[in-house]
Amino acid sequence: MCQSNLHRRNYVLDIRLSRWYVYTDMATIQKRTSRGHTYWAIVESRRVNGKPRPIVLEYLGSAETLLQRLTEGIPKKVRTYSHGTVAVMLDVARDLDVVEAINRHVREPRIRDGLTVGGSLFLAALGRICHPTSKRNWYEGWARHTSLPLILRMSLNKIDSQHFWDQMDQVPEEAIPLIEQELVASLCEKENVTLDTLLYDTTNFFSYIDTTNGRSTLAQRGKNKQKRMDLRQFGMLLLVSRQDHFPLFHALYQGNQQDRTVFKEAFPALVERLKTLCGSLEDLTVVFDQGNNSKEILHAVDRQMHFVGALSPSQHKMLLERANAAMEPVTVGDRELTCFREPVGIWGMDLTAVVYVSEKLRKGQIRGIEHGLAKVFEKLAELASAIKTTTNRGRKRTRQGLEKKIKSLVSSYDLETIVPWKLTELHGDAFALDFWVDEEKLRWFVEKWCGRRILITNRHDWSAAEIIRAYWGQADVEYAFKNLKNPFHMAFRPQYHWTDQKVRVHGLICFIAFLLTMVTCKRAREKAGFTGTPHRLIERLSAIRLATFVESPAIRSRGHYKTTYRIEEAEPDIEELAKGMGVTEHSTKTSIPFSVYI
């Protein structure tokens, strides 16, 4: 064997032996004989088909080879870091100039703990992607266990909550849209984003901002979508592309505002953003749900661009009657639907309406009716039992009071047309209450009402299938909000900020985190054939670990310690992802100017 091959083999054995030394506590070194020669091997006892069998982890060679390796020096320290997500996100941030874009819009060229404002905000976004936590716990709870300090070539143990707060103070509120616009423009240029159909929606996030805190006007009481009505909340609107779900526009608003009011106030800024990105709006179509409808906003959208919206079936019963009488089958993707299409005039606009039956919505509404019937029957039975006897003390019952109570009870479940009832006087203030299900009306409701959706658009040239497919994209922006509420990756919460400026900068940080993640998902699909969710992608990238080997110099020399970096062996699917994303050839140094303004 030539000298170079022998050196290479010994080097590989050094690495693998060090792995055994660190991670394995059940292996032994055993002697083996082959063709009259004695060799040594690392052997571990494992169960194969339920029976213990010796498994050779590595052949170490002869005694002379082992002695030579021991005298020349072996690794003294081995340490591993979570590396894949950090390395890939740094690549994406470098390509999109994230740090530079932020630094160009801050108040002053300030450096704290060796980091620029853009560098600090990007690191906060990176923490949001990998391990959402408080900014106080950013280093201890996450960063110290990653390769981030190694790649940045700097200590990060001083990066605490005060560091982030001071850096966030340097970002004025009016600079946030400018930073976002620059990042989105870079995204569209580098990733060839398709902007034909855009999806708009809103949501809200509860906070722990105290009721007596007057420094935040964003946090207000409202109907919280996570059922935390006891807490103040603020809202967030988001515009994403249908293809790849890239975020293109966001804004925070007061938590007690209605969706239509938010859309009306944000629409001018949204139009300016799209004009900056596209120049012309004639080929764009924005999709939004019926909660954003108003006469004024629909007219404003109709004048500027194409749109696909929705109407409430309860407000357009005649249209439903015409649709039920003339439904036709249509194929949308791989689904067969029944739908109806006709031109309509709404609020002085010439639009196209499409009515179709959503089987998922239909089943959900039927389950809701069944649940509501069970609940209302239970409560009506309790009331009937209580009122059949006269009262001995207190105020006497009246027919008017009981009728009002029964109507309120039945209407609270939207069952006033399906559950008829009869109240009969007995003696004194005792009454008999009879109630039942009107089977004919229930059957009509299920067959003619359940599952109906009404869509409207000024895309008269689109087919019914194209209109429905565009509206279905609304689920994509809802999926984006679901990601932002996931507690493990990209989460908007926890957010411990008590002023509007801090909350808005925190929103920008989360926007950047979501943008970087979606770019990474696109690249993973293209380069590595990845087909999972963003959360699964982050989990698998985080499983790619970087090992550092610190080798001591030869015993008889005065050489320096040598550090070698290697990607740990992993499962085949994770290794394939690492190769596809270029992590195996990734440098342990970044070119992003974290500490220098350009």
pLDDT, tens digit, 9 for 90 and up, residues 452-490: 999 999 999 999 999 999 999 888 788 788 878 877 887
Yes or no: say if 202 and 484 are a contact pair by the CB < 8 Å rule.
no
Burial profile 411-429: b = 16 or more Cβ within 10 angstroms, e = fewer: eebebeebbebeeeeeeeb
pLDDT band at 47 (very low <50, low <70, confident <90, very high): low
Q: Distance between alpha carbon 414 and the CA centroid of its chain, in Å?
A: 34
Average pLDDT for 412-440? 91
Q: What is the pLDDT of residues 552-597, one digit of tens each?
A: 555 555 545 567 788 888 888 999 999 999 888 766 778 788 775 4
pLDDT of residue 402: 92
Q: Is the pLDDT of residue 364 over 60?
A: yes
| pTM for this model (two decimals) | 0.79
Residues 6+ away with beta carbon under 8 Å from 514: 247, 480, 483, 484, 490
Q: What is the mean pLDDT of the chain?
A: 85
Q: What is the pLDDT of residues 86-123, one digit of tens each?
A: 999 999 999 999 999 999 998 776 788 889 999 999 99
Q: What is the pLDDT of residues 329-351, one digit of tens each?
A: 999 888 899 999 999 998 889 99
Q: What is the pLDDT of residues 500-519, one digit of tens each?
A: 999 999 999 999 999 999 99
Yes or no: say if 184 and 248 are a contact pair by the CB < 8 Å rule.
yes
pLDDT of residue 496: 82
Which of 127, 122, 64, 73 minimizes the C-alpha distance to 97?
A: 122
Residues 551 and 562: their CA atoms lie apart, in Å, by 5
